Amino acid sequence: MKELLIVEDDLEMQEFYKDMLQGEQFTVTLASNGEEGIKKIKEKKYDIVILDILMEGMTGDRLFALLRRDSQYKEVPVIMASALDEKTYQCFQALGNVSFLEKPFNKEKLLDEITKRLEGNK
Amino acid sequence: MFINKKEIILNINKIIFSSLDIREVYQTMSKELSKVIDFDRLSVTLITENNDLYENFVLSKDYEYTALKEGVLYPMEGSMMKRVIQFRQPVVVEDTSKGRFFTDTVLYKEGIQSRLGFPLEYKDRVIGSVNFGSKRKDYYTKKHIDFFAQIASQLAMSIENTRLFNRIKEAEEKYRTVIESSPDIIFECAKDGKFLLMSPSVEKMTGCPVNQFYDNRGYGLSLCHADDRERVQHEIFQILNGKNSNLMDMEFRITHKQGQVIWLSLEIIPIKECDEIVGIEGFCRDITERKKLDELKDGLIRDVTHELKTPVAKIEMAIDMFERSITTGNINTLGKGSQIHEILRNNINRLKNTVKNILDISKLESGMEPLKLHDISLIELITQIVSELGNTANTKNLTLTSHLSANLPIIKADRYKIYHLITHLIDNAIKFTEQGKIDIIASVLPDAVQVTIEDTGRGLDEKTKERVFEKFYKETPSTFGAGIGLAICKNIVQLHKGKIWVESEGKGKGSRFKFTLPMTADNK
């Protein structure tokens, strides 16, 4: 089972993730804000991290930048999810191993993105 | 005597060309000239460009009368000057008391009895005349004319040089004033990176003294923000290598000596000498303020977009969830149905609220909706709102209490809008308070009523306090709401000619939103 961490502060969004990933081949861990996300990442090795961008406190893009600066987490595949346009976050592409998932998305799109990211890391 | 005259001519010519400004050596020259041509008054007059005036360019200093003053313009009409120009010949006035020119009358009064005017020609054009005046009648003869003819052309050339020199000096002066007083940077830089010119304003803009630029090659580039340096350097080389032939225009950042980032716009063009590019000249302007506004605007658009897109996205995802749960048959288990229902209702409300707020503020700002003023009782209104919101406060275990001064007057106000204002402020207090209480205090000031909504909530830092009433401002972008509510509140209070502000000792220390509504004469 692949380890999946979702950092998302919107409780309803968390429900969508849970619903979509239920019964799939992943162990899903949820974090409700950036700080909690960091804590979880340090506790366990994750195969993929999904980050909401606009969160109270530490935002997803800041968390992502922190990860890429730390040699230990430099390679963790990341998916950034947001209702914002993809082009707003193109600058993060340069930091590597990241893709963008625009909200709304459905189950197929989410699974597809996760698979692509996991394969990209092989 | 003849040899002596030749020597004098040589000497005069030497004097004439010893200075770029003839006026500096004029007295020496006239002293030398007086050795061969006797005069009591010597002047040089020059024609202005449109030919209708002439300037008394320079006058011998030992002449005591000053009716025709140095540096002053006189009309050409009726002057000896006009005749000299017309005939391109020396003009002699034997007796000024009988003279035809208006200048004769003036000079006669000063004791000048006879005159000689000699044309000054430069490149086939008369530019002015040299004028001798003598206190003796009928003094000037052909002898004088012949002698002066040997000097006139040199003098004319020298005067033309002086004029040219002055024009350059003036132009240079103007150029320097422009450069020195301009808040923008004007510079010239040689191909090797050495600055040939740099306006002093660079010091204010960058915090680095102007001589640093002169002393260090490529100094400007070293100030560039690390992320922009390569791009700026590349563009400049394109110009220097002739690959980008004309004007180049770009925006980039520099780091001020004191650390802050400054946005500059830069326009540069190549400096060419004999078709070869030897450097660049450029113009640089501080556009930090404009950039800040742009960023603010982009931020606003982003926040509003987010606020509209998020509920729509979630509604779409809830519908997707609904469809899947039908397929899997989960709809009737695990409370899935009511969960989806709740998500849908929440987000429709959120969307409705955002749209309503945007419409409200647009209406308020456009002034399309005038105030409907009625007599209202704040006691009655606040009591009603507190009872309406009591339940919401209770669900968060917050105490909501009003403290209303008994002598609160009936005021003239728009009831619906004041209701909205107070409701929103209390709503906000409930939203941002996790535990404790919310107090609504209404009191009477000398000329206004003041309402305070005080909470024990999360409080505001200095920066947020300043901006909290701005349209679309949100302390954290993910907070529920479009960030319009307080902007609407401010608008309502201002329409009533009141004031609204917030007090807070800082983060976690609660906040007090206060507004006043003035009491007009009939309110009292």
Domains (range + CATH), chain A? 2-119 (3.40.50.2300)
Ranges of chain B whose pLDDT falls below 50: 1-2, 523-524
Chain B residues whose CB is inside 8 A of the A20 CB are 321
pLDDT, residue B3, reads 53
pLDDT, residue B433, reads 93
* Tokens coding B345: 């209702």
- How many CB atoms sit inside 10 A of residue B443's CB? 14
- DSSP-derived secondary structure letter, B289: H
Judge whether B482 is closer than 8 Å to chain A, CB to CB. Answer: no
Up-side HSE of residue B51: CA atoms within 13 Å toward CB? 7
Mean pLDDT calculated for residue range A10-33: 93
What's the maximum distance between 2 C-alpha atoms anywhere in chain A?
34
- How many CB atoms sit inside 10 A of residue A11's CB? 10
Mean pLDDT calculated for residue range A9-28: 92
Provide the β-strand partners of residue B448.
B518
Residues contacting residue B283 through CB under 8 Å, at least 6 positions apart: B184, B185, B186, B266, B267, B268
Quote the minimal CA–CA distance from A122 to chain B in Å. 31
Up-side HSE of residue B321: CA atoms within 13 Å toward CB? 29
CB B105 within 8 A of CB B118: no
Across B130-162, b (16+ Cβ under 10 Å) vs e yields bbbbbeeeebbeeebbeebeebbeebbbbbbbb
In terms of phi and psi (left: phi > 0; alpha: psi -120 to 50; beta: otherwise), the region of B497 is left
What is the tens place of the pLDDT at every residue in B400-439?
A: 999 999 889 999 999 999 999 999 999 999 999 999 999 9
What percentage of chain A has pLDDT greater than the value 90?
58
Higher pLDDT, A57 or B189: B189
Among B306, B343, B476, select the one facing A83 at the smallest CB separation.
B306
Q: With an 8 Å Cβ cutoff, are B317 and A106 in contact?
A: yes
**ipTM of model:** 0.89
Interface of B with A in 315-374 (CB under 8 A): 316-318, 320-321, 324-325, 339, 343, 346-347
* Tokens coding B177: 């004033």
Q: Where are the alpha helices (DSSP H) in B368-454?
A: 378-395, 415-431
Among A12, A19, A88, select the one facing B314 at the smallest CB separation.
A12
- Nearest Cα residue to B343 out of B311, B370, B375: B311
DSSP B243-275: SS-S-EEEEEEEE-TTS-EEEEEEEEEEEEETT
Chain B residues whose CB is inside 8 A of the A16 CB are 314, 317-318, 321
- How many CB atoms sit inside 10 A of residue B484's CB? 26
- DSSP-derived secondary structure letter, B408: P
Nearest CA in chain A to B309: A83
Judge whether B477 is closer than 8 Å to chain A, CB to CB. Answer: yes
Judge whether A56 is closer than 8 Å to chain B, CB to CB. Answer: yes
pLDDT, residue B478, reads 55
Element spanning B515, H or E: strand B511-518
Chain A residues whose CB is inside 8 A of the B343 CB are 12, 15
Q: Cis omega (within 30 of 0) on the bond before B446? A: no
Q: With an 8 Å Cβ cutoff, are A10 and B477 in contact?
A: no
- How many CB atoms sit inside 10 A of residue B63's CB? 17
What is the tens place of the pLDDT at every residue in A92-101?
A: 777 788 889 9
